[in-house]
Amino acid sequence: MYRTPLNDHFKTYPLNPAHKIIIITAPSGAGKTSITRYLLNKYPLLSFSISAATRKPRAGEEDGVQYHFMSEQAFKNKIDADAFVEWEMVYEGNYYGTLKTELERIWGLGKTPVLDIDVKGAIHIQQQFGKNCLSIFIEPPSVEELKKRLESRGSETAESLATRINKASYEISFSHQFNKTIINKDLEIACAETEQLIKEFLGW
Protein backbone atom coordinates (compact mmCIF):
# COMPACT_ATOMS: atom_id res chain seq x y z
CA MET A 1 0.00 0.00 0.00
CA TYR A 2 2.68 2.50 0.97
CA ARG A 3 4.63 2.59 -2.27
CA THR A 4 4.61 5.19 -4.96
CA PRO A 5 5.21 4.31 -8.57
CA LEU A 6 5.17 7.32 -10.87
CA ASN A 7 1.48 7.94 -10.96
CA ASP A 8 -1.22 10.51 -10.53
CA HIS A 9 -2.57 9.66 -7.13
CA PHE A 10 -1.52 12.97 -5.64
CA LYS A 11 -4.48 15.29 -6.03
CA THR A 12 -4.14 18.59 -7.81
CA TYR A 13 -3.19 21.28 -5.34
CA PRO A 14 -5.41 24.41 -5.33
CA LEU A 15 -3.18 26.90 -7.11
CA ASN A 16 -2.54 30.47 -6.12
CA PRO A 17 -0.45 32.21 -8.80
CA ALA A 18 1.54 34.01 -6.10
CA HIS A 19 2.62 30.68 -4.61
CA LYS A 20 5.71 29.54 -6.42
CA ILE A 21 7.90 26.51 -5.73
CA ILE A 22 11.51 25.83 -6.62
CA ILE A 23 12.65 22.23 -6.80
CA ILE A 24 16.27 21.22 -6.83
CA THR A 25 16.50 17.55 -7.68
CA ALA A 26 19.37 15.26 -8.57
CA PRO A 27 20.85 11.88 -7.89
CA SER A 28 22.51 11.70 -4.49
CA GLY A 29 26.06 13.11 -4.69
CA ALA A 30 25.40 15.41 -7.65
CA GLY A 31 25.81 18.48 -5.46
CA LYS A 32 22.22 19.56 -4.96
CA THR A 33 22.62 20.15 -1.24
CA SER A 34 25.63 22.45 -1.75
CA ILE A 35 23.79 24.39 -4.43
CA THR A 36 20.65 24.65 -2.30
CA ARG A 37 22.69 25.89 0.66
CA TYR A 38 24.37 28.53 -1.49
CA LEU A 39 21.00 29.85 -2.68
CA LEU A 40 19.44 29.92 0.77
CA ASN A 41 22.40 31.80 2.25
CA LYS A 42 22.26 34.42 -0.44
CA TYR A 43 18.51 35.02 -0.78
CA PRO A 44 16.45 35.53 2.39
CA LEU A 45 13.24 35.38 0.35
CA LEU A 46 13.96 31.74 -0.42
CA SER A 47 13.21 29.27 2.36
CA PHE A 48 14.21 25.63 2.73
CA SER A 49 11.21 23.32 2.78
CA ILE A 50 11.73 21.02 5.76
CA SER A 51 10.52 17.57 4.79
CA ALA A 52 9.16 14.88 7.05
CA ALA A 53 11.45 11.83 7.23
CA THR A 54 11.49 8.51 9.04
CA ARG A 55 15.24 7.96 8.98
CA LYS A 56 17.23 8.50 12.15
CA PRO A 57 18.86 11.93 12.58
CA ARG A 58 22.59 11.90 11.75
CA ALA A 59 25.14 13.45 14.10
CA GLY A 60 24.53 17.19 14.22
CA GLU A 61 21.03 17.01 12.77
CA GLU A 62 18.13 18.43 14.72
CA ASP A 63 14.43 17.82 14.55
CA GLY A 64 12.69 20.65 12.72
CA VAL A 65 15.92 21.91 11.09
CA GLN A 66 17.04 19.42 8.42
CA TYR A 67 13.86 17.35 8.70
CA HIS A 68 10.79 16.82 10.79
CA PHE A 69 11.92 13.43 12.04
CA MET A 70 9.09 11.03 12.85
CA SER A 71 8.27 7.37 13.31
CA GLU A 72 7.03 5.29 10.41
CA GLN A 73 3.62 5.05 12.07
CA ALA A 74 3.36 8.82 12.47
CA PHE A 75 4.35 9.23 8.82
CA LYS A 76 1.74 6.73 7.66
CA ASN A 77 -0.90 8.53 9.71
CA LYS A 78 -0.01 11.68 7.82
CA ILE A 79 -0.32 9.87 4.49
CA ASP A 80 -3.79 8.73 5.52
CA ALA A 81 -4.69 12.26 6.59
CA ASP A 82 -3.63 13.55 3.13
CA ALA A 83 -1.05 15.81 4.75
CA PHE A 84 1.58 15.46 2.00
CA VAL A 85 1.85 17.03 -1.44
CA GLU A 86 4.20 14.16 -2.25
CA TRP A 87 6.03 11.43 -0.41
CA GLU A 88 8.37 8.58 -1.35
CA MET A 89 10.21 5.68 0.14
CA VAL A 90 13.53 7.10 -1.05
CA TYR A 91 16.05 4.72 0.54
CA GLU A 92 16.18 1.53 2.56
CA GLY A 93 12.71 1.57 3.95
CA ASN A 94 12.86 5.27 4.83
CA TYR A 95 10.02 7.59 3.94
CA TYR A 96 10.41 11.24 3.00
CA GLY A 97 7.64 13.69 2.20
CA THR A 98 6.74 17.31 1.63
CA LEU A 99 4.08 18.50 4.05
CA LYS A 100 1.34 20.84 2.85
CA THR A 101 1.66 22.75 6.13
CA GLU A 102 5.35 23.38 5.41
CA LEU A 103 4.68 24.95 2.01
CA GLU A 104 1.87 27.03 3.49
CA ARG A 105 4.09 28.18 6.35
CA ILE A 106 6.69 29.46 3.87
CA TRP A 107 4.20 31.13 1.54
CA GLY A 108 2.63 32.71 4.63
CA LEU A 109 5.98 34.41 5.30
CA GLY A 110 5.90 35.84 1.77
CA LYS A 111 8.79 33.56 0.75
CA THR A 112 9.34 30.89 -1.90
CA PRO A 113 9.98 27.32 -0.75
CA VAL A 114 13.04 25.51 -2.10
CA LEU A 115 12.59 21.75 -2.12
CA ASP A 116 15.61 19.44 -2.10
CA ILE A 117 13.84 16.23 -3.03
CA ASP A 118 14.33 13.09 -5.06
CA VAL A 119 13.43 12.73 -8.72
CA LYS A 120 10.09 10.99 -8.31
CA GLY A 121 8.97 13.47 -5.68
CA ALA A 122 9.98 16.28 -8.02
CA ILE A 123 7.88 14.87 -10.84
CA HIS A 124 4.88 14.57 -8.53
CA ILE A 125 5.21 18.21 -7.46
CA GLN A 126 5.48 19.32 -11.07
CA GLN A 127 2.33 17.45 -11.96
CA GLN A 128 0.43 19.36 -9.30
CA PHE A 129 1.97 22.82 -9.57
CA GLY A 130 2.69 23.13 -13.30
CA LYS A 131 3.88 26.61 -14.22
CA ASN A 132 3.99 27.68 -10.57
CA CYS A 133 7.06 25.54 -10.11
CA LEU A 134 10.56 25.63 -11.49
CA SER A 135 12.31 22.26 -11.44
CA ILE A 136 16.06 22.15 -11.81
CA PHE A 137 17.85 18.86 -12.30
CA ILE A 138 21.47 18.86 -11.16
CA GLU A 139 23.36 16.33 -13.21
CA PRO A 140 26.75 14.93 -12.23
CA PRO A 141 29.33 15.13 -15.05
CA SER A 142 29.35 11.30 -15.15
CA VAL A 143 28.38 8.28 -13.09
CA GLU A 144 32.12 7.65 -12.52
CA GLU A 145 32.56 11.11 -11.04
CA LEU A 146 29.49 10.60 -8.87
CA LYS A 147 30.95 7.38 -7.54
CA LYS A 148 34.19 9.19 -6.65
CA ARG A 149 32.28 11.93 -4.82
CA LEU A 150 30.19 9.50 -2.83
CA GLU A 151 33.29 7.49 -1.89
CA SER A 152 35.06 10.62 -0.70
CA ARG A 153 32.17 11.46 1.65
CA GLY A 154 33.14 8.34 3.52
CA SER A 155 29.61 7.89 4.86
CA GLU A 156 28.62 5.02 2.55
CA THR A 157 29.06 1.30 3.01
CA ALA A 158 29.87 -0.75 -0.13
CA GLU A 159 26.23 -1.77 -0.22
CA SER A 160 24.72 1.68 0.22
CA LEU A 161 27.18 3.04 -2.36
CA ALA A 162 26.03 0.45 -4.90
CA THR A 163 22.38 1.28 -4.14
CA ARG A 164 22.97 5.00 -4.62
CA ILE A 165 24.90 4.48 -7.88
CA ASN A 166 22.18 2.24 -9.32
CA LYS A 167 19.54 4.70 -8.30
CA ALA A 168 21.55 7.57 -9.79
CA SER A 169 21.79 5.91 -13.21
CA TYR A 170 18.04 5.38 -13.15
CA GLU A 171 17.38 8.95 -12.03
CA ILE A 172 19.62 10.48 -14.70
CA SER A 173 17.32 8.87 -17.27
CA PHE A 174 14.55 11.22 -16.02
CA SER A 175 16.54 14.43 -16.49
CA HIS A 176 14.60 15.50 -19.60
CA GLN A 177 11.39 15.68 -17.52
CA PHE A 178 12.49 18.81 -15.69
CA ASN A 179 12.33 22.46 -16.68
CA LYS A 180 16.11 22.91 -16.63
CA THR A 181 19.25 20.82 -16.28
CA ILE A 182 22.51 22.06 -14.81
CA ILE A 183 25.63 19.93 -15.20
CA ASN A 184 27.64 20.24 -12.02
CA LYS A 185 31.18 19.99 -13.27
CA ASP A 186 32.34 23.05 -11.34
CA LEU A 187 30.31 23.88 -8.22
CA GLU A 188 30.80 27.64 -8.44
CA ILE A 189 29.58 27.76 -12.04
CA ALA A 190 26.68 25.43 -11.27
CA CYS A 191 25.61 27.70 -8.37
CA ALA A 192 25.73 30.80 -10.59
CA GLU A 193 23.74 29.09 -13.36
CA THR A 194 21.10 27.86 -10.93
CA GLU A 195 20.85 31.30 -9.36
CA GLN A 196 20.29 32.87 -12.77
CA LEU A 197 17.43 30.45 -13.56
CA ILE A 198 15.74 31.22 -10.24
CA LYS A 199 16.05 34.97 -10.68
CA GLU A 200 14.46 34.72 -14.12
CA PHE A 201 11.65 32.50 -12.81
CA LEU A 202 10.85 34.80 -9.89
CA GLY A 203 11.31 37.97 -11.94
CA TRP A 204 14.11 39.27 -9.70
| Interface region with ligand 5GP, contact rule CB under 6 A, candidates 68-76, 111-119, 158-166, 192-200 | 111-119
Among 117, 123, 133, 182, the residue binding ligand 5GP under the rule CB under 6 A is 117
Q: According to the binding rule CB under 6 A, does residue 121 interact with ligand 5GP?
A: yes
Q: Among residues 129, 118, 116, 124, which one has the least CA distance to residue 24?
A: 116
Q: How far is CA 109 from CA 19, 113, 160, in A?
A: 11, 10, 38
In the bound state with ligand 5GP, the residue whose beta carbon lies nearer, of 6 and 203, is: 6
Supply the DSSP symbol for 184: -
Query: In this structure, how many other beta carbons lie within 10 angstroms of the beta carbon of residue 44?
Result: 8
User: Min. distance of Cβ 91 from ligand 5GP in angstroms?
Assistant: 6
Among 47, 51, 126, 194, the residue binding ligand 5GP under the rule CB under 6 A is 51
Q: Strands across the sheet with 112-116, in order?
A: 46-48, 112-116, 21-25, 133-139, 180-183
Spell out the residues 6+ positions from residue 120 whose beta carbon is closer than 8 angstroms to its own: 4, 6, 88
Q: According to the binding rule CB under 6 A, does residue 55 interact with ligand 5GP?
A: yes
In the bound state with ligand 5GP, the residue whose beta carbon lies nearer, of 153 and 200, is: 153
Residues that bind ligand 5GP (CB under 6 A): 28, 51, 55, 86, 88, 90-91, 96-98, 116-118, 121
